[in-house]
Amino acid sequence: MSEAAAAQLQKTSLNPVHRACNAKMVDFGGWDMPVQYSGLIDEHNTVRKAVGLFDVSHMGEIEIQGPEAAALVDYVTTNSVAKLKIGQAHYSGLLYEHGGFVDDILVHKVAPDSFFICVNASNQEKDFDHIVAHNTFDAEVIYASEKYAQIAIQGPRGLETLQKLTATQLAGIKYYWFTDGEVSGTPARIARTGYTGEDGFEIYIDPSEAARIWNELLEAGAEFGIKPAGLGARNTLRLESKMALYGHEIHASINPLEADLAWIVKFDKGDFIGREALLKQKENGLTRKLVGFEMRGRGIGRDGYEVLVDGTPAGWVTSGSPAPTLNKNIGLCYLPLEFAKTGQMIQVLIRNQPVDAEVVETPFYKRSK
């Protein structure tokens, strides 16, 4: 991408760092982001085996505060906020009345009356407007994206790397919990979360400190073989772990039951946006469901490719790629419920040629604890 084309795009505070180390930059939903540094497969394997560093500052942050903050978050999201303890985070859905996704999000409970929500970059304004439009509660919704840079330190050596820069005892933070502390002298929200299927942390810091912290993390992780990793590796890592990507597995026309995300929908918690539609869908039964597949023939079933069963159009691929850890070509696709079962043979239409694939158990990859 040329400098001129890039000038039109939004940039994270780490943008000059990426350009200085010759990262390959792409337009990612209107953001000038690094897709790879040393090479996608190398970065992918580094995260699985050691530790990788990701700039995810393009992600948005929304803060919800006030006496009825919990009630508002509970009403606009699918997961149960009542079950969250202070210092805990969970994955959740932001839905329309018809049950389709506005976005998928991470909700952090900072205090009884204070929540911190991490949302997808390209959805941040939409999410904010959606929450504000439904705010009939005594709560304030704050667009906070400009206040935070976000760096993900992911992989089995992530804890040791980050530990060098903080007095917070990281081993004491459980998976999907967080704490407010300091990283190299700057205030940081330190969350044991991620989008790679590995252990790791995501830190939220002041954007003006991001370049310094990034470089210090690279130094701290040098002995473990740390490398910066781009959005390319982030995508293959999340796909192997079957984590949904907005715009692919989930969007406005897909609901969480179809996306195999029933676990984030808590019907018994009381009313929430989309509940009626999801209940109706549950009663009537699903018509389609997200499943994983492995290519059996030669080829890669990619996003948007048509899926056939016995030669008849049946569904579509939402994400597909070689899986570097597994050395297989994998993907996710929607299929009519009757075909959405392990062992089902399907064909993916690759450049007008049907190529055999098989529905398999997911996640494709699960780390050993």
- Give residues in contact with other proteins (CB under 8 A): 2, 24, 35-36, 39-41, 232, 236, 298-300, 302, 321-322, 324, 351
Lookup: tokens for 292: 């994983």
Cα-Cα end-to-end distance for the chain: 40
What's the closest the beta carbon of residue 158 comes to other proteins, in angstroms?
Answer: 23
Longest Cα–Cα distance of the chain, Å, equals 61
Lookup: tokens for 349: 């239409």
Q: How many CA atoms lie within 13 Å of 295's alpha carbon, on the beta-carbon side? A: 24
> Residue 63 pairs with which residues in a beta bridge?
116, 142
> Among residues 281 and 319, whose Cβ is nearest to other proteins?
319
What's the closest the beta carbon of residue 237 comes to other proteins, in angstroms?
Answer: 12
Cα separation, 289 vs 355, in Å, equals 21
Lookup: tokens for 269: 């918690």
What's the closest the beta carbon of residue 319 comes to other proteins, in angstroms?
Answer: 12
> Among residues 4 and 167, whose Cβ is nearest to other proteins?
4
> Among residues 1 and 279, whose Cβ is nearest to other proteins?
1
3-state secondary structure 73-138: HHHHECCCHHHCCCCEEEEEEEECCCCCEEEEEEEEEEECCEEEEEECHHHHHHHHHHHHHCCCCC
DSSP of 205-244: E-GGGHHHHHHHHHHHTGGGT-EE--HHHHHHHHHHTT--
> Among residues 188 and 233, whose Cβ is nearest to other proteins?
233
- Answer whether 147's CB lies under 8 Å from 116's CB: no
In the chain, the amino acid numbered 4 is: A
In the chain, the amino acid numbered 327 is: N
What's the closest the beta carbon of residue 178 comes to other proteins, in angstroms?
Answer: 32
What's the closest the beta carbon of residue 84 comes to other proteins, in angstroms?
Answer: 36
> Among residues 221 and 299, whose Cβ is nearest to other proteins?
299
> Among residues 195 and 201, whose Cβ is nearest to other proteins?
195
What's the closest the beta carbon of residue 306 comes to other proteins, in angstroms?
Answer: 15
What's the closest the beta carbon of residue 213 comes to other proteins, in angstroms?
Answer: 27
DSSP designation for 279 = H
What's the closest the beta carbon of residue 194 comes to other proteins, in angstroms?
Answer: 20
Residue written as token pair 């064909």: 347
> Among residues 23 and 69, whose Cβ is nearest to other proteins?
23
What's the closest the beta carbon of residue 1 comes to other proteins, in angstroms?
Answer: 8
In the chain, the amino acid numbered 190 is: I
Asked whether the bond before 354 is cis by omega within 30 degrees of 0, the reply is: no
- Answer whether 144's CB lies under 8 Å from 108's CB: no
> Among residues 59 and 295, whose Cβ is nearest to other proteins?
295
Go through the chain and tell me how many residues it has: 369
> Among residues 76 and 330, whose Cβ is nearest to other proteins?
330
